Amino acid sequence: EDQVTQSPEALRLQEGESSSLNCSYTVSGLRGLFWYRQDPGKGPEFLFTLYSAGEEKEKERLKATLTKKESFLHITAPKPEDSATYLCAVQSAAGGYNKLIFGAGTRLAVHP
């Protein structure tokens, strides 16, 4: 069964304190792995898609990496505006483009 587990559930950082969020997955043939950002009371907002082990994507202070079993979202020198819940999702070859399996998310709080 396809499964996505994110850790930690919650993370508190001081402004400028770099860290990483983890997304572990088991899937029957990975088609793609996705990272979304979700602000309180809003819908998820797309950040990155990763397709194969070794691939990396960057956007401002965020960098996503992928291995055969997990993905990391590295946050470098975070600012308070990076506070949000970060969601990871996978698409399997069996499920196709229409079925995303989401993790429960990591709530990130960055304090000044």
Partner 1 sequence: NAGVTQTPKFRVLKTGQSMTLLCAQDMNHEYMYWYRQDPGMGLRLIHYSVGEGTTAKGEVPDGYNVSRLKKQNFLLGLESAAPSQTSVYFCASRGSNPGQENEQFFGPGTRLTVL
Contacts with partner 1 in 53-92 (CB under 8 A)? 87, 89, 91
Q: Report CA-CA distances (Å) from 63 to 5, 35, 42, 56.
A: 19, 10, 23, 7
> Quick check: 42 binds partner 1 (CB under 8 A)?
yes
The two structure tokens encoding residue 85: 């819940």
Contact region for partner 1 (CB under 8 A) — 13-21, 56-64, 65-73, 93-101? 93-101
The Cα 60–Cα 94 span in angstroms is 33
Q: State which residue, 42 or 59, has the beta carbon closest to partner 1.
A: 42
Interatomic CA distance for residues 106 and 54, integer angstroms: 23
Closest CA to 63 of 80, 48, 51, 44: 48
Find the binder of partner 1 among 13, 21, 27, 34 (CB under 8 A). 34
C-alpha–C-alpha distance, residues 17 and 3, integer Å: 30
Q: Does 101 bind partner 1 (CB under 8 A)?
A: yes
In terms of CB distance, is 94 or 104 closer to partner 1? 104
The residue among 4 and 110 lying less far from partner 1, judged by its C-beta, is 4
Binding site for partner 1 (CB under 8 A): 4, 32, 34, 36, 41-46, 49, 87, 89, 91, 97-105
